[in-house]
A = this chain, B = another copy of it.
């Protein structure tokens, strides 16, 4: 196999991009450290691709299967009000999917995490979510390993 294409100026080609939860041949999962949203993961395509439509059909299916597996594990563990999925990449145009558990008590709900906050953060409830994340990380790694190389 040839090495994935890399862009020397791209931070997601150079670095994991967060706390690595699982790494496979095609993609990796990291847990982000975004204030106010403890259960905020990113599925990052390993090779440098800017847009989802740059992937082959097979690769796109694989990428979105991984996103769905991560989403499902987060739903099972956290029972959030909603999962938010987004591939923006305006600042880092290397395909990465934000997978974010939203709760109706979080500082921005039902607005997007990129909007202005609607209320104060709830430190106790955030800590309650955070306390579940080491177990969730392990479940995520197990589920991804069961499906992907």
Contact = CB atoms under 8 A, between A and B. Distances in A.
Given A53-B71, A61-B61, A86-B112, 6 more contacts: A52-B67, A60-B64, A64-B64, A85-B87, A90-B109, A112-B112
A113 to B, nearest CB: 8
A57 interface: yes
Nearest to A50: B82
Interface of A: 50-53, 55, 57, 60-61, 64-65, 67-69, 71-72, 75, 81-91, 93, 102, 109-112, 114-116
Contacts of A64: 52, 60-61, 64
A82 B87 CA distance: 10
A84 B88 contact: yes
Nearest to A82: B90
A83 B61 CA distance: 19
A144 B109 CA distance: 34
A127 to B, nearest CB: 22
A98 to B, nearest CB: 8
Contact of A115 (B55, B85, B109, B114): B114
A111 B84 contact: no
Q: Which 10 pairs show the lowest CB-CB distances between chains A and B?
A: A90-B110, A112-B114, A86-B86, A53-B72, A53-B68, A53-B71, A85-B87, A114-B115, A64-B64, A114-B114
